[in-house]
Every structure is written in C-alpha cells, then in structure tokens.
Amino acid sequence: MEGFYGMVNGELRSREKLKKYVQGEITRLFSAVLDYAEVAVDGKERYTTLRSKVLKVSNDAIREINRELDNRYTITYIPPAEELIVITQKK
C-alpha cells in the first residue's frame, strides 16, 4: 500500500522514524544549550528572550530538516543486527 508521495509503508515508517530521531537529538541539544544559558545569562527577562529565540531556531531547524528529507531522500531503516546466544547446561 502506498502512502505519502507514493512511498510504500516501509519507507514511510523509516522516514518517520528518522524524523523522530533527528527531532529528539535537536531537542536534547537545545535543551542543554538552554540549561547552560540559564546559568550564564543575567536576569530572568534576558533569559526568557534568549530562550524564545533559541526555541524558534530549534523548531525552524526541525521543520527544515523534515522538509529536506521529504523532498530529496529515499530512506530505509536497517535495524541493528542481533546476535542470538544460546546457553545450555551440561548434564
């Protein structure tokens, strides 16, 4: 079954998985930046203004990355290889 822009479901799921991962990483990055800024910036009002600007840039970056992925990339998620180790007890 085809979905978004004629993609098959596997590719659509792969694309959404990558978008979610990238969004999480960007969110963690800017959260850390804001934690440092809260300590470094003098005054609540100045911090609030900086925080607003940082969050806007963060959200804009996420939207731009998602747009780029949607328009220019074919994405396939390859799960990590798992090794199965079987342990048996000797009699």
pLDDT at 26: 96
Of 48 and 2, the one with more pLDDT: 48
Q: Is residue 40 part of a domain?
A: yes
Instruction: Output the pLDDT for position 4.
Output: 53
What is the residue-wise DSSP string for the chain? -B-GGG-BHHHHHHHHHHHHHHHHHHHHHHHHHHHHHHHHS-SHHHHHHHHHHHHHHHHHHHHHHHHHHHHH------PPP----------
Specify the pLDDT at position 1.
43
Would residue 78 count as lying in a domain? no
Structural domain including 53 reads: 4-72
Is residue 1 a contact partner of residue 8, using CB atoms and an 8 Å limit?
A: yes
Q: Which residue has the tokens 């992925």?
A: 69
Instruction: With respect to residue 81, please indicate whether it lies within any of the assigned structural domains.
Output: no
pLDDT at residue 61 above 50? yes
| pLDDT tens figures, 31-49 | 999 999 999 999 999 999 9
Domain count, the chain: 1
Is 41 within a domain?
yes
